[in-house]
Amino acid sequence: MREICQSVETIFQLLLDELKKSTRASEQNCRDVAGRLAAEVNRICTESNRIQASGDIEGSAMSLAQHRLQQCLHYYSLGSGPVE
């Protein structure tokens, strides 16, 4: 299995930048979430036979990272409003 190790740091940085820009979470919380998401993307892309066979592991990793980020931001927006 081929790993996407060379792009894990790139994915982490992309996620971190977007989380900092799109949320009011602390720097450390953004780092923690970005790290967990990057690790999840790496694990999925490493273990998925379909992604491995596709020949575009890094492209799949970036798409998956964007998808997971959008899910997180969606859930964040649901919980970030004032409590009534």
Kindly report the average pLDDT of the chain as a whole number.
Answer: 87
| CB contact at 8 A, 61 and 11 | yes
Residue at 53 is within a domain:
yes
- Cβ partners under 8 Å of residue 24, min gap 6: 80
State the total domains in the chain: 1
Cα distance between residue 19 and residue 47, in whole Å: 26
- Other Cβ atoms less than 10 A from the Cβ of 83: the count is 4
- 39 has a pLDDT exceeding 60: yes
10 falls within a domain:
yes
CB 68 within 8 A of CB 19: no
**83 part of a folded domain:** no
Full domain range(s) for residue 54: 5-77
Per-residue model confidence as pLDDT tens digits over 48-75: 999 889 888 889 999 999 999 999 999 9
**Is there a domain that residue 17 lies in?**
yes
Of residues 1 and 75, the one with the higher pLDDT is 75
Query: Is 54 part of a structural domain of the chain?
Result: yes
pLDDT value, residue 55 = 83
Query: Phi and psi dihedrals of 55, rounded to 5?
Result: 85, -5
pTM over 0.95: no
Whether 68 is in a domain gets the answer yes
Assigned domain for 64 exists: yes
